[in-house]
Structures are given as structure tokens and as C-alpha cells.
Structure 1
Amino acid sequence: MSIVYLNGSFIPMEEAKISPLDRGFLFGDGIYEVIPSYGGKMVGFGPHIDRMIEGLAALEIQLNWSHDQWRDLCQELINLNPDPQVGLYLHVTRGADTKRHHPYPAGVTPTVFAMPTAIPAAPIPQRDKVNAYKVTTMQDHRWKKCNIKSISLLGNVMHYQQGYSQGSDEVLLFNEQGELTECGACNAYIVKNGTVITPVLDNQILPGITRLIALGVLREDGSIAVEERNVTREEVFDADEIWISSSSKEIAPVTQIDGQLVGDGKPGPVWEKAAQLYSAGKFNY
């Protein structure tokens, strides 16, 4: 039985209750984060909380928690749910009003919920041991503020389900100009001639924390060139390697796209080196 946090109390999951008038339930009016923890050590805690604070500000949700308050909550969840690897799901909504009404209500207390979620063990950064992914491509039909990590994920879910129903593990999304944006639940990268290329951050793309850490460790090491720029569909299909990244997948190789092999159909050498650098540095952020 998992112990969760809800509005000031740590309680069994079965006892957690939220009003049906909560605006998260009615409108998807809220922000969330998932922070991976391995052996009690969190990955990217500071950047995750920074992104949550920025998202809350973008939605004008008034919750003035410090990093220390979030850290104490997360640490207590780790202590109460001592799994070797766990994702700490943090969820803040505007709260429950007395009626269903579209404008932001005044004087409403935000709902704060947090729970442990099962995540796989950290991937092994070796070409012959890692799980590779198959992806399907499609046009990006999500809303125009994907840089906000909103709990309103229906567009992502529909894309993800469309790919899943076709036997894929993820989707690669392209905007109306034929440029790569991201995935249903991951950031995306290509490798060409030894250079890692990933779309520049804008309103179409979530600023992923794994992406932040990965690019940081690659630039600190300096042995692999990195570019942030627009990536065309043609470049994706001509890539030597394709990667995706998220908090639970870390950096993962893609070996099939729309049924075609990527490169030789095996995880590439640039991915292997980058994944090893990420593994060595991921707890430093």
C-alpha cells in the first residue's frame, strides 16, 4: 500500500480524496512533475522544481513553496516508500471552487498531491544491453504551449495511443512546416556524422530535465558536438542515430522509424558514449 501526500498529510493511497469540483478534474488546470529517484538519490531535483515553479507562474497558481519544502516532501515520500527506484509524481492544481466556472477563481487554495510511481531500473548504457525503441511519425496536433508541463495531456495521450495501436513504443511529432518537435512523452534527437542535433526549445517543446542534463554533460565533456536547431523530416530519416529521452527512459536509442531501420538497426556508438556520460553525471544536477 503506497503512502501519498495530499494537502498537508501523508496517508495511504486508498484514503486520498479530492473534490469533484477541483479544477484539475474539471479543466486540467494544473502542473505536474515526475522526479526519478534511485537508491534514495533524486535526479535533477533542482531543475524539476524550477520548471514546476515556472509552470505555476504561467498559470497564475499561487503556491509559494520553496525548494526546501518540496525537498522535504520528496524525501519523506522516499522514506515512507523505500523502493530501490521510484518516480516522485508531484501534482498541483488551482484547487476546488464552489462551482464550475471558466475564469480563474479568487481565494481558492491549491490542491497539492504527490505519490510514488514505479519506474524501471536505470537503463544500462551499453549497446548490447539497452532496450531500443520503435517509433511512428505523425503531425503534431497538440496545443501551442507545450513548454508548460500541464496536467492537460489529452493531445499527448491521443498521439501516444495512435502509435501504440500501430505497434510502436513512441511517436515522433512534426509541425506543419515538417520540422521535428518532440514525442508523445519524450524529447527527441538525431545524430549525423557524430554530431547530436536536437530541436531548439520553444512553445512547441517541453524543456525536458533529462534533455537539460544530457546536453549539459555532453558539453562539459566536449568530445561529442551538440547543436540545437530546427530539424527537418528529411534529416530525421537520414540520421545515423535517433534518440529519445525522459525522466524514466533517460537517453534511449530508437532503432526503427515507421518500420524502417535506423542506421544498421542497432543502438549506435554515439548513443552509447552519451548514455555513459549521462549515467556518470545525472546525480550532479
Structure 2
Amino acid sequence: MMRFAYVNGRFCAHPDAAIHVEDRGFQFADAVYEVWSVRDGRLMDADGHFQRLSRSLAELRIPEPRSRPALERIIRELLRRNRVSNGLVYLQISRGQARRDHAFPKQAITPTIVLTCKRLDFAAADRRAETGIGVITVPDQRWARCDIKTVNLLPNVLAKQAAYEAGAAEAWQVDADGYVTEGSSTNAWIVTKAGKLLTRQADNGILHGITRARILDCAQRLGLEIEERAFTPAEALDAREAFLTSATSFVTPVVSIDGKTVANGAPGSLARALRETYLAEA
């Protein structure tokens, strides 16, 4: 089946989708992106993702090229053309095309906008949640503004590749002070032996995950004790449970870290309860 993309105002065949060689997103990573999971044809956590997109654009001083209603119409049409009812939508907006120079272009330019979508096997994600996954730890080599969802993802790519080469599903990044920041594409969580839910505070060191925020809401309604602070890999290995969250993994238990077993090596009850609560409300 032919796949379609959306580039700068028009839908086109996916193999023909292209941007200019001097697009600043291509040359400088001067761009932001956003990802929505699609479930039964509906964008999950739509408000949070659109709000984060606006914030990321504002932080980089890139004007919004489309209003939210316009973007939603484009997304609906893209999903229809690709016959995607369960999957994800990827949106990228760069500052636009200009003669190569590090400084912002002196003259106003039109931002570049690209959208794609694809099907996802949510049943496979459910199976991973049933068995749990392994993670490794790697040094965090990213820039100091990880709260902005930019396409500057090379350190994340290297971290994810290191995980795959180690036979793990994800890499938890560790800052210079020895604390876990987040995964290469996920937020990190643990449950202490006392039953307290821990995840790093939403500072500049992590992406402010939309699923992360929703899970915090779910945890509050379940009556769990919550603390937003950094934790070490040693604390994670000593924890009762560990798990990660993202827009595509939802809540996925972590059963090993650097090849060492977390608790009894099986998914924990709190991670399961949070996943069920989140998906029931999605």
C-alpha cells in the first residue's frame, strides 16, 4: 500500500517526500518534533503534546507555521490516507530554508513542516509489558536544554544503539553526579522498597514527558506516595520495581539494569496498575 507524507502544504508519496538541502533542521538540528500515539483513530494525550510543541517552538523562537485546528485537520487526513487507526504520528518543524549560517536568518523565512505516520503493533508492546525489559546505563552526553524537544538526538541515538548491542531494550542516561536523568527515548521511574514512587523532577535535564505527567496523575488518584527527585542506578537496583514511560511504550516494567536483576526479576504490581489505569483512560 502506498504511504503518504505531508511536506510544506502538500501530501505526497512517502518515497518522494523531501526538503531543501539548506533546510536548517537538516544542517543544524534547528528544529523541534512531536510524536502522538494513535489509538482507535484518536490522538492520545493530544492537549499535552500540542502544548509541548508550542513551548518547544517558543523556546527556539520558531513561529508556529499552522494553528492547532489546522494541524489536527492535516493529521486526520494523513491518518486516513495511510489507513492508520493504531500507530503514531510524527511531526517535525524546522526554522526553514536559508543560506547556511549559524546565526538566525536576518530576513523572515517560512518554517518547514513535515508529518508522517505509521502503524504500530500495540500487542507487541503489551507482551513487553507482561515480561518486562532490560536496560543498561550510559553517560549522559546531551546538551543542557533537554526539556526542549529538538531533533538534536545524536547522543540518544548512540545510547539506544549501545542498548541494542548489549541486548537491552533501552539505555538509562546517568549525569556527571551519578544520577539517572532519563532513557534515550523514555522517562525513568522506580518504586522504593517502602512503596514510594520516584521519578526525576521536570528540570532542564529531562524531556517533560506527556505520558510522564499523565502517569503522575494516575498515581495520585491511586493514592500512591510520590517524590520527584533524581535517583542513582544503585537505588534502582535496590528498588521494589522499576519501569519506564513514553508515548509509545506507555508503562513498561524494567526487570534488569546492566544485566543485574531488579527485585525478583518480574514486572511489579504498581507498574501493572499504572499501565492499566492509563490505558483505561486513554
TM tier, smaller: over 0.9
Structure 2 equivalent of residue 139 of structure 1: 139
The separation in 2 between residues aligned to 1:18 and 1:93, in whole angstroms, is: 10
Q: Which residue of 2 aligns with 1:70?
A: 71
Distance (Å, rounded) in 2 between the aligned partners of 1:84 and 1:207: 26
> Contact 1:254 / 1:262 at 8 angstroms: preserved in 2?
yes
Structure 2 partner of 1:277:
277
SS at match of 1:130: helix
Aligned length: 279
Distance 1:157 1:14 in 2: 23
Q: 1:197 — aligned with what?
A: 198
- The residue number in structure 2 matching 1:121 is 122
Aligned counterparts of 2:78 and 2:218: Cα–Cα separation in 1: 28
Between the aligned partners of 1:58 and 1:156, the Cα distance in structure 2 is 21
Q: Which 5+ residue runs of structure 1 have no aligned equivalent?
A: none
CA distance in 2, matches of 1:248, 1:114: 17
Shift of 1:126: 8.7
When normalised by structure 2's length, the TM-score is: 0.94
How many angstroms apart in 2 are the aligned matches of 1:155 and 1:63? Answer: 27
CA deviation string 1:34-83 (max 9, x = no partner): 10101101101111011111111111111253221221121111221222
User: How is 1:11-90 mapped onto 2 (pairs within 5 angstroms)?
Assistant: 11-63=12-64, 65-90=66-91
Distance across 2 between alignment mates of 1:164 and 1:124: 17
Q: What corresponds to 1:223 in structure 2?
A: 223
* Partners of 2:18 and 2:84 in 1: CA distance: 24
* Residues 111 and 124 of structure 1, relative CA distance in 2, 3 Å threshold: closer
Contact 1:217 1:281 in 2 (8 A): no
Asked if 1:178 corresponds to 2:170, the answer is: no
Identity of aligned residues (%): 33
Ranked by relative contact order (alpha carbons within 8 Å, sequence separation 6 or more), the top structure is 1
Moved more, 6-15 or 251-260: 6-15
Contact 1:120–1:248 (CA under 8 A) maintained in structure 2 = no
Q: Tell me which residue corresponds to 1:10.
A: 11
SS, match of residue 271 in structure 1: helix
1:68, 1:110 → 2: CA distance? 18
Structural RMSD (CA): 1.7
Return 5+ residue gaps in structure 2 as ranges: none
Shift of 1:131: 4.4
Return the alpha-carbon distance in structure 1 between the equivalents of residues 72 and 9 of structure 2. 14
Q: TM-score, normalised by structure 1?
A: 0.93
* 1:112, distance to aligned residue in structure 2 (A): 0.5
Question: Which runs of 4 or more aligned residues in structure 1 lie more than 3 Å from their structure 2 counterparts after TM superposition?
Answer: 122-127
Once the 2 structures are TM-superposed, how far is the Cα of residue 241 of structure 1 from its aligned partner?
A: 0.7
Report the AA paired with residue 112 of structure 2.
Answer: T
Structure 2 residue 149 is matched with structure 1 residue 149? yes
Deviations 1:185-225 (A, max 9, x none): 10000011222110001111000111111111221x23322
C-alpha distance in 2, partners of 1:145/1:67? Answer: 25
Q: Which amino acid in structure 2 is aligned with residue 153 of structure 1?
A: L
